A and B are shown apart, each in its own frame.
Chain A
Amino acid sequence: EDQVTQSPEALRLQEGESSSLNCSYTVSGLRGLFWYRQDPGKGPEFLFTLYSAGEEKEKERLKATLTKKESFLHITAPKPEDSATYLCALMGTSGSRLTFGEGTQLTVNP
Chain B
Amino acid sequence: GAGVSQSPSNKVTEKGKDVELRCDPISGHTALYWYRQRLGQGLEFLIYFQGNSAPDKSGLPSDRFSAERTGESVSTLTIQRTQQEDSAVYLCASNLYRGTGELFFGEGSRLTVL
Contact = CB atoms under 8 A, between A and B. Distances in A.
Contacts of B45: 97-100
A97 B56 CA distance: 9
B75 to A, nearest CB: 15
Contacts of A43: 4, 91, 93, 105-108
Nearest to B6: A43
Contacts, number: 63
Interface stretch (A53-61, A64-72, A87-95): A87-95
B108 A32 contact: no
B50 interface: yes
Contacts of A28: none
Interface of A: 4, 31-32, 34, 41-46, 49, 87, 89-91, 95-103
Interface of B: 4, 31, 33, 35, 41-45, 48, 50, 56, 58-59, 91, 93, 98-108
